[in-house]
Each structure stands twice: as structure tokens, then as C-alpha cells.
Amino acid sequence: MLVLSRQRDETIMIGDDVEITVVDIRGDKVRLGISAPRHIQVHRKEVYEAIKRENQQASNLSPQDMSDVAEHDNNRDRHPGEVLNPKKIERTGNNSDRHDSTRQPS
């Protein structure tokens, strides 16, 4: 492990694209600012480890679990009572049968 000393507002470079700057020091707390390209994920270690655990658990899903997830995904945009293949309703009659209360007498 490389150990470096830095003071407030000093920066460490990792490669050409990642900058780590000491933003603040208060007691035993150090605040770091990290500037990195969007394709590089930056997490606190405890968050990173939680993500790894979740991914591991997800990769151990049984075929039935996967089927349940797929079924849920297929139904997520539907609303209760929605018909999947509604038939087109044909209107009968003509529009002249309607009464128009805004029409002026001729």
C-alpha cells in the first residue's frame, strides 16, 4: 500500500483521469473530493462491499426466482383490470343525432 501525506487543498492523481483532493480535516475526520470520469465508479468501501454481496445473492437466484422476476417485469406497466387485446369498438349512427346546445337557430 502506498501511503501519502497531504494537507488541505492538496491533490493526489491516480492515472491521468482521477483526482483526489483533501477538502477538509476536522479532528480524526478527513473529507475528500474525488473527480473521476463517469465510467469509473467511486464508492465508499462499505457501500462497494454491500453492492458485491447483493450481486452475489442475485447471481444465486433459482430458475423459479428468475421466472417470478420475469413475470413481475412483464406485468409492471399494466394496471389492474387492463385488457391485453382490446377489441376495437365500432360506433354506429351518425353525429347528426347529437344535440348541440350551442347551436344558434337559423
Q: What is the pLDDT of residues 32-90, one digit of tens each?
A: 999 999 999 999 999 999 999 998 888 887 777 777 777 776 666 655 555 555 555 55
Is 43 part of a structural domain of the chain? Answer: yes
- Total number of domains constituting the chain: 1
Is 88 part of a structural domain of the chain? Answer: no
Is 89 part of a structural domain of the chain? Answer: no
- Host domain of residue 43: 11-60
Question: Taking 80 as the threshold, does the pLDDT of residue 28 lie above it?
Answer: yes
User: What pLDDT does residue 106 have?
Assistant: 47
Is 84 part of a structural domain of the chain? Answer: no
Is 85 part of a structural domain of the chain? Answer: no
Strand 29-35, strand 11-14: pairing: unpaired
Q: How far apart are CA 37 and CA 14, in angstroms?
A: 12
**Higher local confidence (pLDDT), 76 or 13:** 13
